[in-house]
A and B are shown apart, each in its own frame.
Chain A
Amino acid sequence: MNAALQYTWAQAFADLSQIAAIATLTGFFLFAIVVDLVLPKRRRGGAVAIVAVTGFAYSLGTAVYRWLYGQGGLAYHKFASGDSFALFFEILFACLGILTVALSHSYLKKRGLLEGEFHILIMAAVIGMMVLASATSLVTVFLGLELLSISLYIVCGYVRTDSRSQEAGAKYLLVGGFASAFVLYGMALIYGGAGTTVIPDIATKLGDSASSNPLILLGIVLMGVGFAFKVSAAPFHMWTPDVYQGAPIPVTAFMSVGTKAAAFAMIVRVFAGGLPHLAPEWQILLAFVAATSMVVGNVMAIAQTSLKRLLAYSGIAQAGYILIGVIAGGDAGLAAVNYYLFIYMFMNFGAFAVITLLAGPEGDRDKFSDLEGLGRRNPVLGVLMTVFMLSLAGFPPTVGFFGKLFLFTAGVSAGYTWLVVLAVLMSVVSVFYYIRVLIPIWSPSSRTDEVPSSLTTRLVVTLSGVASILLGIYPTTLLLVGQLAANPNPGP
């Protein structure tokens, strides 16, 4: 029998332990489906939520355990890996999953939506994200991408009675399918050039001469376009504001952080890990995308009147900042990217969580006027929203500043001073619209109605707010973790 096809039980266990976090979550995912089927209708929602949170917590624990005792390398014939890069993102996505379930629990009840399916779909999306992070083959990358995207298409259009939600789902499906096709075609061309889909092998098989092969270059461009769609970077950002606005807020919050982080994990894995010899080529491509994103995102955000759209454009701009770290590359650059993605979870998710609290049974309230008097109606929420906005704008001592400091330091060190100067100038623009959000919060207002309250959502907001400040005052540990996870090339 062919030696390569032999697969022993020991091997199977070793491989499974490499992807333990994903496997655990998948187990809970299946269990959640069964729970949703067998329990009586009125008990389903809460039970599934509990199963989902437990699943995420177990997955988080597994990932942390593997991080501490036994980080691995390639598994499943080099199709996946359990290296520190994958584990870092698995930890991130598990945290995000917990936050999302906590955020959506009360929201779904308030709007009278079915809870069980929603959590199950979120779990599926998180599994997709984790697969993306641990994928070391183009095939697995695509598998994760589709699992993630298809789940999100459904939850975007989850509010079946709301035409805007429907529109968001349809739009995301069409544009996302388009992006997937681009990625797939690019992958096919790379496979044609390298003769393998395994990312570490691509790196060794494509030598320096590959930069003269037009098919490989076309493959990079096509994948770059697809990835830019997924991180919502300009000029491939058109879907973002509409989808963010139409989708239910918890979904928007989840997407804005999760999809972005997953797509960045994919970019780093494929470009920095698989095509290091072609770095000058894709760096130019990404530098162009980063510059356009920062300009388009920040300038367009000024004119928005909907908070969701504003945060969508701000997300486009932030994608531009993060790309600086990817372009700079190396230990410092990728550590900065990891750090930023992790803190972005807290500051952006926190901001969305505050808007979630404002939502009413009839729909989302995300106009500027809905924030009126928040500082008076609920001072804690007012202060926290202020922290999130200042953090997104990059004011010290919040985390946003340190994230930018690390990204920009990496950028200047790598010689991309012009990109950093552009980023800095655009940050000045961004302060304008982030501060605009604060104006209704703290202006004198006659509104005194209570802010709708919910324990879990409040917990999410407070946790995000505390993290946004503490991780800023003491960024060392998280940056160290990001640094340890900064190698997209897993060992054997």
Chain B
Amino acid sequence: MLTVIWVLPLVGAALIAFMPPRLAKFWGVTVAVVTLLISIGMAYVFDPNAHSFQLTETEPWIPQLNIAYRLGVDGISLWLVVLNALLTVVAVLATPLSTRHVNRFIALILGMSAGLAGLFMATDLVLFYVFWEAMLIPAYFLLWIFGEGDRPGRAALKFVLYTLAGSLLMLVGVIGEYVFTGQKSFDLAVLATMPPSPSIQFGLFFVFALAFAIKTPLFPFHSWLPDAYMAAPTSMLVLFAGVMGKAGAYGFLRIAVPLFPNPAYWWDWRWVMPVLAVAAIIWGALMAIAQRDMKLLVAYSSVSHLGFIVLGIFSYNVQGQQGAVLQMVNHGIIVPALFLIVAWISDRAGTRDRSAMAGLATRMPVMAGIFFLVTMAALGLPGLNSFVGEFMTLFGAWQRAPVLAVFGAIGLVLAPVYMLRLFQGVMQGPPAGPEPKSDIYAGQLLLVAPLVVLMFAIGLDPNFLTSLISVVGQPGLAK
């Protein structure tokens, strides 16, 4: 079952790449919807009481090095797999048919989605690494060939080299786990039971955390993100920001935390990471305030929100880590919606500069309503999904060290500043700037509707997610 979830989009991608462009979208949506249904079925049969990886599949792959094809899901990865499948449907649907080589575009989107699904389901370190790197290939081509802006090739190359610098070092870490734990195994569940000595943990944690910090991105490693997000076409951004942004955070939770419980030698990494996370929260928010380009503003707000997730993960307690998983899903719902809406607004207004337009609400009321809802969700209004997650991560951080929560909460204060300034500036006030061509289309409304419904659903009853999140597959994670 799990194999189908990543193989199906991949096979679909291979077929669609050679289809005539006019059929591509239909078949792309079909493949994505079927995958989504299977993923939901997987969530349905998931047993909330068994504390291990579930629906596991194990095949020997390279027995010489004890590498096996191991798939499995637990409460953490389950929701990310479903989210990935959902956003794939949205991304394919959001692809304009007028795109050049739309068949290749959709094939690459599906390929990226397959890589992400595999990444979240892999429970073998080498398999994890294979998916981690393999998904870079479609992402690179999407950014480069279909990218926007002057030089998408540069942004794509920057993204790939940045990510690779981290992930190739991670390869040394993967090998180091095999050698230095003395386990001669790549099984994540086994490795978590036998941590190596603290000095080795210190080094291994560094190489893994660096890779994940670049991918997330965490504060000093985020400089690829504005370029890449600016270059990414909107429908790719749905998957790129919505799911791939979580890959790094997922890596922290799946590998860095459980495998290295005590990475302290010259200093203790367990204190470095939350400090960086807080820095990311504040820095991202400040940068978002300073932006005039709406897409860039959302991109920086994403850096800030991802900081909350990492802060929650490194609080080392159940509230923080559950909040982090919840927040991964929340952010995965909110950010694609924001990017889509911003793209639609700028498409109609002809510019992405938020100061060049005002008072659009009277001229596109429905769009304004949706935008308002999403804005409220993004700044963490109680009753909508993001509030619960941010509250839990901050609560977890408070339990670890109050000072982290105090500084982290600055992000909560700054979020309304940039989000409301964006909304008010664009939507409210006396009408000015270019006349928008139309209000939101019905199709576009239908596209964001499920995301908005989920914002309410999770906001009002987060328990249906958190009850399963506590099912973790490895020791070493708080439950």
The residues of A with any CB-CB pair to B shorter than 8 Å are 335, 390, 395-397, 401-402, 404-406, 408-409, 412-413, 417, 420-421, 424-425, 427-428, 431-432, 435, 439, 442-443, 475-476, 479-480, 483
Contact = CB atoms under 8 A, between A and B. Distances in A.
B348 to A, nearest CB: 28
A412 B134 contact: no
B442 interface: no
Given A409-B179, A417-B176, 11 more contacts: A395-B134, A396-B131, A396-B134, A409-B175, A417-B172, A425-B169, A431-B164, A435-B140, A435-B160, A442-B144, A476-B62
Contact of B133 (A396, A408, A435): A396
A385 B136 CA distance: 18
Contacts of B172: 408, 412, 417, 420-421, 424
B169 A421 contact: yes
A436 to B, nearest CB: 9
A291 to B, nearest CB: 15
Contact of B169 (A424, A435, A479): A424
Nearest to A335: B64
A406 B65 contact: yes
Interface in B126-172: 126, 129-131, 133-134, 136-137, 140-141, 144-145, 153, 157, 160-161, 164-165, 168-169, 171-172
B168 A425 contact: yes
B133 A401 contact: yes
Contacts of B178: 409
A405 B171 contact: yes
A476 B64 contact: yes
A475 B64 CA distance: 10
B160 A412 contact: no
Given A401-B130, A428-B161, A412 B168 contact: no
Nearest to A339: B64
A379 to B, nearest CB: 9
Given A395-B136, A420-B175, A432 B64 contact: no
11 contacts: A396-B131, A402-B62, A409-B178, A409-B179, A412-B176, A427-B164, A428-B161, A432-B161, A435-B157, A443-B153, A476-B64
Contacts of B153: 439, 443
Given A395-B136, A401-B133, A424 B161 contact: no
Given A417-B172, A431-B160, A435-B160, A442 B141 contact: yes
A397 B119 CA distance: 13
Nearest to B170: A424
Shortest Cβ-Cβ A-B pairs, 4 listed: A396-B130, A424-B168, A412-B175, A428-B165
B126 A405 contact: yes
A479 B172 CA distance: 20
Nearest to A410: B175
Most buried by B among A396, A424, A480: A396
B179 A475 contact: no
Nearest to A432: B161
Contacts of B171: 404-405, 408, 424
Contacts of A409: 65, 175, 178-179
A390 B133 CA distance: 11
B61 interface: yes
Contacts of A424: 168-169, 171-172
Nearest to B18: A379
A390 B134 CA distance: 10
A483 B64 contact: yes
B63 interface: yes
A421 B173 CA distance: 10
A20 B126 CA distance: 41
Contacts of B136: 395
B161 A413 contact: no
A380 B215 CA distance: 32
Nearest to A409: B175
B344 to A, nearest CB: 27
B65 A390 contact: no
B161 A390 contact: no
Contacts of B157: 432, 435
A321 to B, nearest CB: 12
Contacts of A395: 133-134, 136-137
Contacts of B168: 424-425, 427-428
Most buried by A among B61, B165, B168, B169: B168
Most buried by A among B64, B65, B133, B136: B64
A480 B62 CA distance: 9
Contacts of A413: 179
Contacts of B126: 405
A479 to B, nearest CB: 6
A397 B63 CA distance: 17
Interface in B29-66: 61-65
A408 B175 contact: yes
Contact of B137 (A390, A405, A432, A479): A390
A397 B62 contact: no
Nearest to A376: B101
Contacts of A408: 171-172, 175
Contacts of B144: 442
Contacts of A412: 172, 175-176, 179
Interface string B60-76: 01111100000000000
A427 B168 CA distance: 8
A443 to B, nearest CB: 8
B130 A475 contact: no
B62 A475 contact: yes
A329 B447 CA distance: 58
Nearest to A474: B61
B64 A479 contact: yes
A2 B359 CA distance: 109
Contacts of A480: 64
A385 to B, nearest CB: 14
Contacts of B130: 396-397, 401
A94 to B, nearest CB: 25
Nearest to B169: A424
A396 B141 CA distance: 16
B107 to A, nearest CB: 12
Most buried by B among A335, A404, A405, A417: A405
Nearest to B178: A409
A396 B176 CA distance: 19
Contact of A428 (B65, B137, B164, B176): B164
Contacts of A397: 130, 134
A102 to B, nearest CB: 27
A396 B169 contact: no
B251 to A, nearest CB: 16
Nearest to B171: A424
A475 B62 CA distance: 7
A479 B131 CA distance: 21
A483 B61 CA distance: 16
Contacts of A420: 172, 175
